């Protein structure tokens, strides 16, 4: 499993185009949202801009999860490897998690700079971002494995991900807004994020073998 993770990370670092495209898309979406909001940003608008840019850039990154395995039929090599298919799922999920975490490390400070809002609890906001990132990575990895064999995968993958992603986005925006200064209890929304992470990580672990065989 760790060999697959290291291989994916090496490919990303060597090409550099993948991380650069994610960063540019995330920055553009964030800028558009910031210019479209009122003159004085609120914690809610800052949190919404942060997660909106992450969802669009993250979906683009999720498409690369299995596209890199299509070259020279590398996906067939993974299928025939003497390892548990669930290990492949975890490896791909962790690779996506690492790539998107790098994106968040850049986008979150930019959000604070553009909005002028400093989080009251930076560690709490980092924890919420990690939980949202984990759930997104699990869901995106599972659906990317389904869409990789479809000709119109660039269209199908967002259509698969976005409807199921709604609870995670709502909970992430609400929790982030509270940590940025909006009144409320972030614990309720953190519980939603934890439940989402557990459900889709477990679902991916159990279903990936059947998905990759089909």
- Domain residue spans of the chain: 2-213
Residues whose CB is less than 8 angstroms from the CB of residue 117 and which lie 6 or more positions away in sequence, other chains included: 41, 43, 46, 180, 181
Tokens of 206: 């159990």
How do residues 80-125 score in pLDDT, each as one tens digit?
A: 777 777 788 888 888 888 888 888 888 888 877 877 777 777 888 8
- In this prediction, residue 149 has a pLDDT band, given cuts at 50, 70 and 90, of low
- What is the distance between the alpha carbons of residues 140 and 142, in angstroms, rounded to a whole number? 5
């Amino acid at each position: 499993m760790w060999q697959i993770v290291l291989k994916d990370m090496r490919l990303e670092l060597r090409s550099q185009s993948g991380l650069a495209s994610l960063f540019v898309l995330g920055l553009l979406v964030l800028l558009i949202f910031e210019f479209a909001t009122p003159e004085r940003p609120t914690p809610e608008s800052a949190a919404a801009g942060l997660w909106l840019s992450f969802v669009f850039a993250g979906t683009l990154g999720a498409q690369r999860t299995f596209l890199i395995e299509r070259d020279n039929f590398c996906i067939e090599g993974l299928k025939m490897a003497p390892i548990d298919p669930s290990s492949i799922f975890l490896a791909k999920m962790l690779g996506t998690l690492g790539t998107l975490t790098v994106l968040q490390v850049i986008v979150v400070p930019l959000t604070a700079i553009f909005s002028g809002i400093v989080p009251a609890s930076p560690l709490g906001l980092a924890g919420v971002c990690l939980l949202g990132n984990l759930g997104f990575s699990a869901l995106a990895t599972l659906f990317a494995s389904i869409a990789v064999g479809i000709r119109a995968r660039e269209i199908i993958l967002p259509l698969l991900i976005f409807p199921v992603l709604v609870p995670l986005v709502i909970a992430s925006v609400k929790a982030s807004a509270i940590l940025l200064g909006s009144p409320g209890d972030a614990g309720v929304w953190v519980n939603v994020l934890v439940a989402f992470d557990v459900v889709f990580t477990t679902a991916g672990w159990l279903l990936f073998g059947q998905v990759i065989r089909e």
